[in-house]
Amino acid sequence: VMRALCDGFASEGYFALCPDLFWRQQPGIQLTDKTEAEWQQAFALMQGFNQAKGVEDLMAGLKHLRKLPGATGKAGTIGYCLGGRLAYLMATRSDADCNVSYYGVGIDELLGEASAILKPLLMHIAGKDKYVPPAAQETIKAALSQNPNVTIHVYPDADHAFARVGGQHYDAKAAERANGRTRDFLRRNLKG
């Protein structure tokens, strides 16, 4: 799924890199959301994930992308679920030119870093996300709404992973809207 997303961004003229976030735990792991066993395996990997090392990996990826022949020097991140959390952290801890978070989990616990967001951050929140419940959504919106660099879109009828094509909670209408907003955001911040 993630490689297909990268292929899509590459087809739009971007250099795209899909890091193996779990290479320290289980290199090359490929999971779907089709079975309860895969959900449980994903949660176990997330529990053992070293967030600081993951952010370091992403920073190394940005550095690499910026040096590729033909690169403009601008680079950003896009993440889904845990990756959405990491995109938020890249907005607070890195020099990424922009970041996009799709249904990032646990961001409400990281809002102490929000004042460090100095470049554009686009957030897509699923209104019916049990992993980012309504109270967490409200906390995130309240903490970030005054930052002019942050844009938050809530998809009221969408569930977690609504943009995952073929996934259990795929919502074509919400995904199309979010992906269109993401494409516009990337054009403004990386190509403009």
* 34, 66, 115, 116, 133 from 16: Cα distances, Å: 26, 11, 28, 25, 31
- 160 as an active site residue: the answer is yes
The residue from 108, 129, 159, 171 that is catalytic is 129
Helices (H), 49-190: 51-67, 82-93, 134-144, 172-186
Task: Tell me the C-alpha distance between 111 and 14, whole Å.
Answer: 30
Strand partners, 165: none
- 64 as an active site residue: the answer is no
Extract the runs of DSSP E, i.e. beta strands, from the chain.
Answer: 76-80, 98-102, 121-126, 150-155
Q: Are 76 and 100 in contact (CB under 8 A)?
A: yes
The residue from 33, 124, 160, 171 that is catalytic is 160
The residues carrying an active-site annotation are 129, 160
